[in-house]
Amino acid sequence: MATARITTASRNRTFLKVSIALQAVSLFYQAVTAGLLLSTSYGELLHGVGARVMYAATLLYLIAAILAWRPGGGSPRPVLYASGFLVLASAQVVLGIAHEPALHVPLGVLMLGLNVLALGQVLTTRLSERPGRRS
C-alpha cells in the first residue's frame, strides 16, 4: 500500500514537472511570436494560436498541481501558484483582446519570469523527500 502511494506521488510529481515545463515553452513561444507580430503579417495568427496553447498549458498545470496535492499528499503551495498563473493568464487574454500592449507585454514578461522560478523550484526539489513534508 505504501509503495503504491509513493509511486502515485512520484508519478503526479513528474506530471507537475512536465506541465510546468510545457507552460514555460508556451510562454517562450508567446515571446517569440510577439516579436513576429510586430514584423510579419502572420505573427498575429501565430500569437493567437500560442495564446490558446498557453492557456491550456496553464489549466494543465493547475490540474497537475491538484493531483500532486490531493491524492499524492503533497504541499498545497503548487495549487496556489497554479491558480495565480491562471488569474494572470486570464488577465493576459483580456489585455491582448483589448489591444493594451502597455499592460500586456510587462505582464507576459512577469509570467515568464515567475514560470521559470516555479520550474526551478519543482526541478530542484529532491524526490527523496516525503510528500507533504516541508524542509
State the residue for C-alpha cell 491582448: 96
pLDDT digits (tens, 9 = 90+) for 42-61: 999 999 999 999 999 999 99
Indicate whether 10 pLDDT > 90: no
Q: What was the pLDDT predicted at 80?
A: 93
Q: What was the pLDDT predicted at 3?
A: 56
Q: What was the pLDDT predicted at 69?
A: 86
Long-range Cβ contacts of 11-15 (<8 Å, 24+ apart)? 12/64, 12/67, 12/68, 12/71, 12/72, 12/74, 13/68, 13/72, 13/74, 13/122, 13/127, 13/131, 15/64, 15/67, 15/68
pLDDT digits (tens, 9 = 90+) for 15-38: 889 999 999 999 999 999 999 988
Average pLDDT in the chain:
86
- Sign of the CA dihedral with 122 first, then 125, 129, and 135 last: negative
Q: CA 122 to CA 25: how far, in whole Å?
A: 16
Q: What was the pLDDT predicted at 129?
A: 52
State the residue for C-alpha cell 499524492: 72
72 alpha carbon, distance to own chain's centre: 19
Nearest to residue 104, comparing CAs of 117, 113, 115, 93? 93
Q: Does the global pTM surpass 0.95? A: no
pLDDT digits (tens, 9 = 90+) for 54-101: 999 999 999 999 988 887 667 788 899 999 999 999 999 999 999 999
